[in-house]
Amino acid sequence: MTVNLLILGGTTEARRLASAVAEAGLRGTVSLAGRVERPAPQGLPLRSGGFGGIAGLAGYLRETAVTHVIDGTHPFAAQMSANAVAACAETGVPLLALTRPAWEQGPEDHWIRVPDIAGAVAELDRPAARVMLAVGRMHLAEFAPNPQHAYLLRLVDPPAEPLPFPEHHVVVDRGPFTRDADLKLLTDHRIELVVSKNAGGSGARAKIDAARALGLPVIMIDRPAIPPRAEAHSVEAALAWLHGATERGV
């Protein structure tokens, strides 16, 4: 069977998979939501924007005769992943998730684990501190109830609207980040507390390694629930699945 792969992208691992698929001479497309102004080149043709829910994705799979879907989205992109499980079940297109194991707390880590964004907001109901809020842009408004803190924000694009924090400093940057650069960032801004999603992978963990080196506490947000699906934790395993699936003719 001729492969026509759809990669749901937006992570370092998805981009690396796309390059490997292109090098293998297989046909594939990377899909992004269109969240940022200048997405990184993906090594395969790119489509951008929502599909229109489960029905929209199922329609896309049929119309473009996709033979396999690899969901390489971020662990917090739970809606996209749930839609992929449903649309692939409906259309019979084989689905594999390429996802990263959650970060584990080490002996020198000072983590305060919370179940979700609301848990992180509740945890910030404490006396004023210098906080690195490294959760991106989309959920910033939820953090408005704690204006007492001085926030260091890292955003992929400059903020389009005023931010709900009287005292804040914005760094416009995209990852993957490095431990040394984040060590300097936390030190220069005299950060006392870091707020982070448990993204897993290497691209976002620099701030966690830097916080550990500085002995700083981290409010660590656990991942949202995602329906069960086949999973791989490396590009090599994802490619093996793809080759295996094509040999089996599924």
Residues that bind ligand 3Y8 (CB under 6 A): 10-12, 15, 32-36, 39-40, 74, 134-139, 154-157, 174-177, 197, 199, 201, 203-204, 207
Q: Minimum distance between the CB of residue 203 and ligand NAP, rounded to whole angstroms?
A: 8
- Count CB atoms within 10 A of the CB of residue 23: 9
102, interface contact from ligand 3Y8, ligand NAP, none, CB < 5-8 Å by kind: none
Q: Minimum distance between the CB of residue 140 and ligand 3Y8, rounded to whole angstroms?
A: 8
Query: Which helix (H) or strand (E) is 9 found in, with range?
Result: none
Q: List residues near ligand NAP by CB under 6 A.
A: 8-11, 31-33, 35, 50-53, 56-57, 73-74, 76-80, 83, 136, 197
The whole-angstrom distance between residue 248's C-alpha and the CA centroid of its chain comes to: 31
Q: Minimum distance between the CB of residue 113 and ligand NAP, rounded to whole angstroms?
A: 17
201, interface contact from ligand 3Y8, ligand NAP, none, CB < 5-8 Å by kind: ligand 3Y8
79, interface contact from ligand NAP, ligand 3Y8, none, CB < 5-8 Å by kind: ligand NAP
The whole-angstrom distance between residue 63's C-alpha and the CA centroid of its chain comes to: 28
Measured from the CB atom, is 75 or 93 closer to ligand 3Y8?
Answer: 75
Q: Nearest 5°: phi and psi at 140?
A: -60, -40
Q: What residues have CB less than 8 Å from 27, skipping those under 6 apart?
A: 2, 3, 4, 5
Measured from the CB atom, is 12 or 83 closer to ligand 3Y8?
Answer: 12
> How would DSSP label each residue in 185-238?
HHHHTT--EEEEE---SSTTTHHHHHHHHHT-EEEEEPPPP-----EESSHHHH
d(CA 218, CA 120): 10
Q: Minimum distance between the CB of residue 148 and ligand 3Y8, rounded to whole angstroms?
A: 22
Beta bridge partners of 69: 6, 95
Residue with structure tokens 């046909």?
Answer: 27
Measured from the CB atom, is 178 or 187 closer to ligand NAP?
Answer: 178
Q: Nearest 5°: phi and psi at 3?
A: -75, 135
Measured from the CB atom, is 217 or 246 closer to ligand 3Y8?
Answer: 217
80, interface contact from ligand 3Y8, ligand NAP, none, CB < 5-8 Å by kind: ligand NAP
Nearest residue to ligand 3Y8, scored by beta-carbon proximity: 136
d(CA 84, CA 8): 9
Q: Minimum distance between the CB of residue 4 and ligand 3Y8, rounded to whole angstroms?
A: 20
159, interface contact from ligand NAP, ligand 3Y8, none, CB < 5-8 Å by kind: none
